[in-house]
Amino acid sequence: MAVIVYSTETCPWCTRAKDFLVEYKVNFKEKDVSKDYNAAKEMVRKSGQKGVPVFDINGKIFAGYDEEKLKELLGLK
């Protein structure tokens, strides 16, 4: 499963989202859009969103932090 999290260091919801993924032992790649202009452009192109967090889970794009939606997309119980 390929999981990318677009985030920033100062975003509390991003921190919660990454903690959630770690708790459930989900491997993910983090892209800090505040430091990586290309990642920011990629995130906006994929999601149409400028806010974080944005998730790319096997090509399914999801913006915002919603544990139930993340569980659904990740196949977690």
Whether residue 2 is contained in a domain is answered as: no
Whether residue 27 is contained in a domain is answered as: yes
In three-state secondary structure terms, 67 is helix
CA distances from 49 to 37, 40, 41, 42 (A): 14, 10, 10, 10
Interval 1-51: pLDDT, tens? 799 999 999 999 999 999 999 999 999 999 999 999 999 999 999 999 999
Backbone torsion region of residue 58, taken as left when φ is above 0, otherwise alpha when ψ lies between -120 and 50, otherwise beta? left
pLDDT band for position 77 (50/70/90)?
Answer: confident
Q: What is d(CA 6, CA 77) in angstroms, rounded to the nearest whole number?
A: 24
Residue-range definition of the domain harbouring residue 45: 11-49+63-77
Q: Tell me the two tokens of residue 55.
A: 């998730």
User: Looking at the 3D structure of the chain, how many domains does it have?
Assistant: 1
Q: What is d(CA 65, CA 6) in angstroms, rounded to the nearest whole number?
A: 12
Look up the pTM and report it: 0.93
Whether residue 39 is contained in a domain is answered as: yes
Those residues whose C-beta lies under 8 Å from the C-beta of residue 1, and which sit 6 or more positions away, are 26, 27, 57, 58, 74
pLDDT of residue 1: 75
